[in-house]
Structure 1
Amino acid sequence: MNNSSQTNTSSKSIGAGLLVAITASLCCITPVFATLAGIGGLAATFSWMEPFRPYLIGITILVLGFAWYQKLRPRTQEEIECACEEDEKPSFWQSRKFLGIVTVFAVLMLAFPSYSGIFFLDNSKGDKVIVVKKSDILNAELNIKGMTCTGCEHSVNAALNISEGVLEASSSYESGISTVKFDQTKVSVDQLATNVEEATGYKVTEKNIIQRKP
């Protein structure tokens, strides 16, 4: 393989690795930014890709690994001679520096679910004092279809926490359940379900009151 062919192959690998990394993260990135942008109907657009995410991650690693191999492997005497004859310095887009930038970006994309919570304001009510009668507090469980990662959990929690009367909210994409504590005089479980569906695009399939505080 001459120097030009090696460079072209490496460039294609870099582009392919970047594309696959972004594709692997769409199911996690879309819910977060759709919720933040107020276009919740798009949140679940790429949820169907979640089962393929592990394979896409594996492909990303293999492709970028091959690109690094192409950059770091010792050149043969023939390739060195070709490089001397061409007397051309590789462009930035074909350099190790650019490959390093792409690799870091790909890692950030693949790890997105683990830090997606930083994109949401603290909606946990913080230290704000809320006066509520204990007899008015209810706990409910919402079964939600469409959550596939922690990014989805943050989106649902944000939709619940901005609802008036909500005291606490937590969600699990693994179980597909959100638990919410709320003041029944200010909001109903039906309204909470509607708020989640409108803000995130996910479907609430079941609503249950699980406990009434004395």
Structure 2
Amino acid sequence: MDNAPARPSRSLFGAGLLAALASSLCCITPLLAVVGGLGGAAGAFAWLEPYRLYLVALTVAVLGLAWYRQLRPAPATDCCTVPAQRSVLQSTGFLAAITGLAAVLLAFPYYGAMFYPVPPPNASIATTNGTVPAWQTRTYRIQGMTCEACAHHVEQAVQQVPGVQSVAVSYDQATAQVRFDAALVPPARVESAINSTGYHVSNPPR
């Protein structure tokens, strides 16, 4: 009779990794949108944000169970029992690698913003025929942002609009403050640039 303790299965490892990935998709997608040119796909997983804490708890619970099953002492066996050989996918090293990858995914919202390229200052300022710029500063409220990575994605999109001088997007306040030349770009154009990221302006600008 085989009295060896049950070892964590590949499905248990996969469940923990999948939960970790789901908890960070709302912040990974904006970066992929910038790098891969996915545009409006950035906000596709924003609906996961309210469930993030539950997904984090699920990840910790599943991987905690896997570690418990991996490390609990084996029951006593008789002298003639040959211990079952574990595969690489059931090894402690593989579980440690899965746990490390899950930790990287769970922490992504806290460091993901550093991967965004910094646009050159005032890259979008333009004037024509020597006219004096008609500078305006407006604040847009934005729905759907879930982390600082989302805010950086909005900044990237708006900064590329010709006539925009500066953009300051706050994830905490869910706002974008934009200074632009109204002679070159109407406020609706700025709003359209924000909406193109997959997030949406929720009020008329002021």
Bin the TM-score by the shorter chain. Answer: 0.7 to 0.9
Structure 2 Cα separation of the partners of residues 80 and 171 of structure 1 = 68
Are 1:124 and 1:161, in contact at CA under 8 Å, matched by a contact in 2? no
Distance of aligned partners of 1:85 and 1:65 in 2 relative to their CA distance in 1, 3 Å threshold: closer
Instruction: Describe the SS at the equivalent of 2:202.
Output: strand
1-side partners of 2:199 and 2:78: how far apart? 55
- For structure 1, which runs of at least 5 residues remain unmatched after alignment? 210-214
C-alpha distance in 2 between matches for 1:171 and 1:80: 68
Q: What code does the residue aligned with 2:64 have?
A: G
Provide the residue aligned with 1:181 in structure 2. Answer: 179
CA RMSD in angstroms, aligned pairs only = 2.8
Aligned counterparts of 2:158 and 2:126: Cα–Cα separation in 1 = 19
1:33-52 pair list within 5 angstroms:
33-52=32-51
State the secondary structure of the residue aligned to 1:141.
strand
Counterpart in the other structure of 2:97: 101
Distance 2:78 2:26 in 1: 42
For 2:120 and 2:141, locate their aligned partners in 1 and report how far apart those are by CA, in whole Å.
21
Q: 1:85 to 1:143 in 2, by over 3 A?
A: closer
What secondary structure is seen at the aligned counterpart in 2 of 1:78? coil
TM-score normalised by structure 1 residue count: 0.81
Q: What is the alpha-carbon distance in structure 2 between the residues aligned to residue 92 and residue 170 of structure 1?
A: 49
The answer on whether the counterparts of 2:136 and 2:180 sit within 8 Å (CA) in structure 1 is yes
Contact 2:133–2:182 (CA under 8 A) maintained in structure 1:
no
Matched residue, 1:194: 192
- Contact kept, 8 Å, 2:126 with 2:163, in 1: the verdict is no
Is the Cα contact below 8 Å between 1:152 and 1:173 reproduced in 2?
yes
Q: Relative to structure 1, is the Cα distance of residues 67 and 51 closer, same or farther in structure 2, using a 3 angstrom cutoff?
A: same
Report the residue type matching 1:143 in the other structure.
R
Q: Using the alignment, how far apart are the partners of 1:144 and 1:91 within structure 2?
A: 50
- Judging changes above 3 Å, is the alpha-carbon distance between structure 1 residues 181 and 2 closer, same or farther for their aligned structure 2 residues? farther
TM-score by length of 2: 0.84
Cα distance, 1:10 vs. partner?
A: 4.3
CA spacing shift, 1:131–1:35, aligned 2, 3 Å: closer
Pair 1:124–1:81, CA change in 2 (3 A): farther
Conserved? CA contact 1:10–1:71, under 8 Å: no
SS of the counterpart of 2:145? coil
Task: Select between 47-56 and 73-82 the one with higher mean Cα deviation.
Answer: 73-82
- Contact 1:189 1:207 (8 Å CA) reproduced: no
Q: How does 1:1-214 map to 2 (within 5 A)?
A: 2-3=3-4, 6-7=6-7, 9-78=8-77, 84-86=82-84, 88=85, 90-123=86-119, 125=121, 136-198=134-196, 200-209=197-206
State the shift of 1:40 in Å.
Answer: 2.2
Q: How many pairs does the alignment contain?
A: 202
**Please, which runs of 5 or more residues in structure 2 have no aligned partner?**
none
- Report if aligned partners of 2:46, 2:146 keep a CA contact under 8 Å in 1: yes
Asked if 2 retains the 8 angstrom alpha-carbon contact of 1:116 and 1:154, the reply is no
- The structure with the largest helix share of the pair is 1
Q: Which moved more, 1:15-24 or 1:183-192?
A: 183-192
Instruction: Check conservation: 2:20, 2:55, Cα contact below 8 A.
Output: yes
- Please give the alpha-carbon distance, in whole angstroms, between the structure 2 residues aligned to 1:21 and 1:134: 52
